[in-house]
Structure 1
Amino acid sequence: MIGVGIVLAIILIIAIAVVVSKKNSGDDGDSGEGNEMESGGLSSIDPTSIPKDAPNWLNPFKWADTTGFNLTYTAQTVGDLPVMGLFSKWDDSKSANEHTPPLDKPWGDYAKRPARGVNVGGWLSLEPFITPSLFEYDRRMGIVDEYTLCAYLGSRCEGVLEKHYATFITEDTFKEIAAAGLDHVRIPFSYWAVQTYDDEPYLFRTSWRYLLRSIEWCRKYGLRVNLDLHGLPGSQNGWNHSGRLGAIGWLNGTDGDRNAQRSLDVHDRLSKFFAQPRYKNIISHYGLANEPKMTELSVPTVLQWTENAHKIIRGNGVKDAIVVFGDGFRGLTKWQGELQGLDRAALDVHQYVIFNTNQIVFNHSEKVRYACAGWTEQTVDSMNRGTGYGPTLVAEWSQADTDCTRHLTNVGNGNRWTGTLKTGDPSTDVTTPRCPLMDNRCDCGPANADASEWTQSYKKFLRMFAEAQMSSFEKGWGWFYWVWDTESAPQWSYKKGLAAGVLPAKAYERDFNCDGPIPSFSDLSEAF
């Protein structure tokens, strides 16, 4: 009996050891990713299992948040990018809602089932108007973008940004997105998730881990992912969301060729990583470059770079994702006949009235009519290869009817609405009011008010304006709202819009459709 007891005790010890080993390796024998992601915690790993020379992005004891990560140490890479934090299994059986197929089934024709998505902007690529708290400095200090912020913070940049990464977007974000009837998520991120150059102050590699975890959370809720490289080496447009405000150094200037190659190198590494089987079903769109400013860049050079990037991505094994390239602000008709040799590609246009000096002046009735008539016509014409490129999607749009939001036009630059926009370039300054009244009665106070102060007529306008755009953009391959959430600026937040009742509770259930008669909106405020 004593001998049998000893044998049973040994078997029990071995069984416990195996279970603990599997738990730490991210393989608990369950077929679902979700259960794996509940396991872990720093108490489950031995600190001595992390090499002393491991960089911070491979050392979970240095991470601001370990929720949802596999903490078992590995230095393994794919495409020279770390897999640290990923679990070994995944489950593609989920669907976002009853109107969409599960991830492991084909989506089908986007012209017949357009994407209804949202951006998680201002998260892994900072934008001052989305998170103004990160830019609360004296304007004279010149902290206007991610570059100048990290240059000022120095070694503190890592702590500040990782706290932001860990708290601004969480698992609840993706749960709420799916609950809102949305089915796609566009995730903007910047090249420093992969590589930094020339002693740049950007926080290297940390955002990579959060990008990978966000994809897994999208998977958990059946959401398909649009990868959006939002900032490229040298800056593709000179705007703050590219990382650095100022000159365009991508494909342009003395370092243009070098930055072009660096960008291709980034895509080479990214596409090797995302060619792994675990991403085949969930990565639905692969974006090449957000908003390249082709009004200032050489169009033939951008087109050639686009062809080169597409060739690399397909050659590395990303076969199913739609390759997305920006319209470059050229005008959609100019894309007719361009880049027709690309396999499974789509043109991406961003539609806003508030950045157009001649459209921001529209009153509410005119804005809704323009969304129904003007944007519908543009979408239909662009989808026709006889008049446009062909497959077209709208990856950014909003309900904002003014450009009053603080920092929207860059830190401290003013706005078109009140005629206070000072860009540093007289050709783009706006010094006369461009609200519909076009006089000194133009006021940003009502526009910047909290949603709790909105009038019923203003709410009705916001709801119609949103649904008119949804209707228009679904004439193409779908849409992605900009953005899911903001610290303030409720006109820009899908989440805040839902709470205020100015967006449909489910994205696929709308009260207004541009295919029907367009009302006169006589009961809406004409002053704003």
Structure 2
Amino acid sequence: MPQYDDAEPARRHRRRDSDGHRRHHHKRSSRDPSAKRTSTDRDAGRKLSPGALAQLDAYNALGYASEPARETQRKPRREKRRREDYRAVDTDYEAPRRERRRRDSHADSDRELEARRRERRRAAAQTENSDMEYEPQRERRHRKRGGIEDDRGIQTEGEIEKRREKKKKKQRVVSGAVAEEGRAIPVMRGGASSKHSSWDSVEHEKEMTKYKPANKKKKRWIIAGVALVVLIIIIVVAVVVSKKNSSDSSSKKSGLDGMSEDSIPVAARGTYLDPFTWYDTTDFNTTYTNETVGDLPVMGLFTDWDDSTQANDKVPALDKDWGAYTKTPARGVNLGGWLSIEPFITPSLFNYDSRLGIIDEWTLCTHLGPRTAASTLEKHYATFVTEQTFSEIQAAGLDHVRIPYSYWAVQTYDGDPYVFRTSWRYLLRAIEWARKYGLRVNLDLHGLPGSQNGWNHSGRQGVVGWLNGTDGDLNAQRSLDIHDRLSKFFAQDRYKNIVAFYGLANEPQMVSLSADSVIAWTEKAFELVRGNGYNGNVVFGDGFMGLANWQGRMTGYSGLVLDVHQYVIFNNDQIVYTHQAKVNYACAGWTEQAQQSMDTSTGYGPTMFAEWSQADTDCAQYVTNVGWGNRWTGTYDSGNASTEALTPRCPAKDASCSCDGANADPSAYSDEYKKFLRMFAEAQMVSFEKGWGWWYWTWDTESAPLWSYKKGLAAGILPEKSYERDFNCDSDVPDFGSDGLDETY
């Protein structure tokens, strides 16, 4: 152990004081008997002021430091101070706990506790009075504790005691003098600090327990009971949701019963070939295979099929020859907005802040990101069209279904945000459902690489990049490559009876493309498809050139059919037709066009009408593109002076033009309006059957009733059976003016 001379305590004291740490150490060291200081040896320690030296001399004259018993008295006192220092706490933390303790204790207990505290403070004060301090340190302690200042120097014990008693009367009971000094009341802390209390904490806790309010325990029971009830509710809800999800999962994942994920090769897990990742497996073959035809997967298909079904007794079964479409025209419907989504058919997919610019499938997928886009669109594929859809189509007396799909069902390219191949699986299943109900299929490639028309239903609204612009030739070749693979796949025996029409390109915008380039590409595509073994009818779009302009073009191609889409609402001059004029135009104008086009001396030849509707306004949300307004009320701002309509184009052409009637629920339609809508629909059916037949656009919509065959049936504005009609253009065109129908828009 190191040895110290007499001056060492003073040096230790000097180091501590110079660092500014813990003044009470300075006080203790200065009272060390082995280091008693006088005015004569002050140079051995810290230099003091003259007043402090006088106090020190007076202190030494009292003789306390030289008493032998002094050391034994101070030792316990230092231990006590260490314990009190250990118990010192942050009063900001302890005050709330003391306040709660005070509220929970009875007033009598508070008074008893305060009396005990006073007794302890009185005992401590008597001990402290035996340890005199020099004046500057005493003054600081008095100021801190609210003591009475005087300049009389050292006072007698009686005077000190009298002043302490006077101070006690001013102390607050709530917080206590000890708390105001920065110390904690020992019982207010638990844990280790209780062990270091300067009084019997255990006994105090027993006393405090006697005075705890009786309702505290009751409150705990209440809280526990409420928590238990909440827990039970949560468990019940979780079980119900789990059962529902399990039920949904079992119905959608029925094909996975008994299967193990280990049956899927590691390389295929998590890909579009992994049925455990599919949203819906109903009527899919989930037995894994990587077999392809034309480099396209057959995963999801069963090996057997049956073509013996017929849609109705007016048409032959699938395994029977249809015959000439000039004698038995097609009566069909589109599944628009399904595998190639359109904002006006499913506006819920496009209800975003307009500032985000989500206007088509490209921008939607970009906004959602790959994972969310994949889950969002597959849920749409699985729910928007189901087997029930095909059952209802058959029940409506229809015999054909046109299925639009886009190139990303087959292939995507660098930079494409589209969901790859998921729609392919649903396309194959749709064909099988059509087979089940005897419906022949018109395959319609609705979106081509680069966009063949720049409209939202091609996937990307804006610039036409197909056969046009920097990548025009590249996109032309990509489109041929896609048809190379598709035609090889659909040339299988499996599809020879059901895929009656094979579409090359939906609505190429030939008013902005080179007509010669489009025709040259169409001829290449036709030869490619025929060369790959597909022997059904091949379809190409009229490109909005006018049917008369196709006379003499692309002749000599057996089974090549011209496709025409007839609408009055997308033309500023036709949308203003009155109800009378619209029915007359459908009966006379479109009938004439059909007959003209079917005659090779005046038109192309084989002509079909694969899109039309009974909508007489363009009021449906997003039908003219997201955010572009409509012609009917004069809000159609296309940005093109040749197509925009900034003044009302309803027949009245004034402020009375409103979309309220057209967008209302069909149950609110007037009888006159319903009569017109049905005649308008049937007039078109009659006209288009002058060609190879028709496909209504579209089977169902979320909210646009005049575009939905299903909603039209429910409203009675379409015949219950497509082949049972009450109207004939040759004899039944009424005078709408006499019925006042021209006034009902």
TM-score (norm: length of structure 2): 0.65
Cα deviation, residue 111, structure 1: 0.2
1:267 maps to a residue whose letter is H
Task: Please give the alpha-carbon distance, in whole angstroms, between the structure 2 residues aligned to 1:121 and 1:410.
Answer: 15
Equivalences for 1:281-360 in 2 at 5 Å? 281-319=497-535, 321-360=536-575
Equivalences for 1:493-512 in 2 at 5 Å? 493-512=708-727
RMSD: 1.2
| Structure 1 segments (4+ residues) deviating >6 Å | none
1:239 maps to a residue whose letter is W
Cα deviation, residue 426, structure 1: 2.6
1:306 maps to a residue whose letter is T
2:603 maps to a residue whose letter is G
- Kept in 2, the 8 Å contact 1:458–1:524? The answer is no
Task: Please give the alpha-carbon distance, in whole angstroms, between the structure 2 residues aligned to 1:71 and 1:204.
Answer: 19
What's 2:147 paired with?
Answer: none
Name the SS for the 1:41 alignment partner: helix
What's 2:485 paired with?
Answer: 269
Name the SS for the 2:267 alignment partner: coil
What's 2:19 paired with?
Answer: none
Cα deviation, residue 425, structure 1: 2.1
Name the SS for the 2:586 alignment partner: helix
Determine which of 7, 21, 43 is the counterpart of 2:257: 43
Determine which of 586, 589, 592 is the counterpart of 1:374: 589
- Kept in 2, the 8 Å contact 1:129–1:407? The answer is yes
Name the SS for the 1:105 alignment partner: coil
What's 1:487 paired with?
Answer: 702
Cα gap change, 1:114 to 1:38, in 2 (>3 Å): farther
Determine which of 178, 182, 205 is the counterpart of 2:398: 182
Cα deviation, residue 427, structure 1: 2.6
Determine which of 441, 452, 467 is the counterpart of 1:236: 452
- Kept in 2, the 8 Å contact 1:40–1:70? The answer is no
Give a deviation string over 1:275-299, Cα, whole Å, max 9, x none: 0100000000000000000000000
Cα deviation, residue 262, structure 1: 0.2
What's 2:607 paired with?
Answer: 392
Cα gap change, 1:517 to 1:446, in 2 (>3 Å): closer
For structure 2, the residue ranges without an aligned partner over 5 or more in a row are 1-250
Cα deviation, residue 255, structure 1: 0.3
Equivalences for 1:409-424 in 2 at 5 Å? 409-424=624-639
2:335 maps to a residue whose letter is V
- Kept in 2, the 8 Å contact 1:97–1:178? The answer is yes
Give a deviation string over 1:129-161, Cα, whole Å, max 9, x none: 000000010001000000000000002100100
Cα deviation, residue 515, structure 1: 2.3
Task: Please give the alpha-carbon distance, in whole angstroms, between the structure 2 residues aligned to 1:133 and 1:56.
Answer: 28
Give a deviation string over 1:336-375, Cα, whole Å, max 9, x none: 0111121211100000000011000001111000000000
2:319 is equivalent to residue 104 of structure 1 = yes
What's 2:578 paired with?
Answer: 363
Task: Please give the alpha-carbon distance, in whole angstroms, between the structure 2 residues aligned to 1:53 and 1:150.
Answer: 26
2:394 maps to a residue whose letter is A
Equivalences for 1:134-283 in 2 at 5 Å? 134-154=349-369, 155-283=371-499
Determine which of 671, 689, 695 is the counterpart of 1:474: 689
Name the SS for the 1:53 alignment partner: helix
Task: Please give the alpha-carbon distance, in whole angstroms, between the structure 2 residues aligned to 1:84 and 1:515.
Answer: 51
Name the SS for the 1:526 alignment partner: helix
Structure having the higher Rg: 2
What's 1:453 paired with?
Answer: 668
Task: Please give the alpha-carbon distance, in whole angstroms, between the structure 2 residues aligned to 1:176 and 1:477.
Answer: 23
Sequence identity percentage:
69
2:341 maps to a residue whose letter is L
Name the SS for the 1:57 alignment partner: coil
Cα gap change, 1:253 to 1:38, in 2 (>3 Å): closer
Cα deviation, residue 424, structure 1: 2.2
Cα gap change, 1:276 to 1:242, in 2 (>3 Å): same
1:237 maps to a residue whose letter is N
Cα deviation, residue 46, structure 1: 1.8
Equivalences for 1:435-446 in 2 at 5 Å? 435-446=650-661
Task: Please give the alpha-carbon distance, in whole angstroms, between the structure 1 residues aligned to 2:368 and 2:271.
Answer: 18
Cα deviation, residue 421, structure 1: 0.5
Give a deviation string over 1:10-51, Cα, whole Å, max 9, x none: xxxxxxxxxxxxxxxxxxxxxxxxxxx999621132211011
- Kept in 1, the 8 Å contact 2:253–2:281? The answer is no
Cα deviation, residue 456, structure 1: 0.7
Task: Please give the alpha-carbon distance, in whole angstroms, between the structure 1 residues aligned to 2:715 and 2:392.
Answer: 15
Task: Please give the alpha-carbon distance, in whole angstroms, between the structure 2 residues aligned to 1:511 and 1:248.
Answer: 43
Task: Please give the alpha-carbon distance, in whole angstroms, between the structure 2 residues aligned to 1:39 and 1:245.
Answer: 36
- Kept in 2, the 8 Å contact 1:364–1:524? The answer is no
Cα deviation, residue 72, structure 1: 0.3
Give a deviation string over 1:356-405, Cα, whole Å, max 9, x none: 11000001111000000000000000000000000101000000000010
Task: Please give the alpha-carbon distance, in whole angstroms, between the structure 2 residues aligned to 1:176 and 1:523.
Answer: 34
Task: Please give the alpha-carbon distance, in whole angstroms, between the structure 2 residues aligned to 1:282 and 1:62.
Answer: 29
Task: Please give the alpha-carbon distance, in whole angstroms, between the structure 2 residues aligned to 1:71 and 1:199.
Answer: 31
Task: Please give the alpha-carbon distance, in whole angstroms, between the structure 1 residues aligned to 2:521 and 2:421.
Answer: 25
Task: Please give the alpha-carbon distance, in whole angstroms, between the structure 1 residues aligned to 2:459 and 2:739.
Answer: 43
2:697 maps to a residue whose letter is W
What's 2:182 paired with?
Answer: none
Cα deviation, residue 514, structure 1: 1.1
Cα gap change, 1:52 to 1:430, in 2 (>3 Å): same
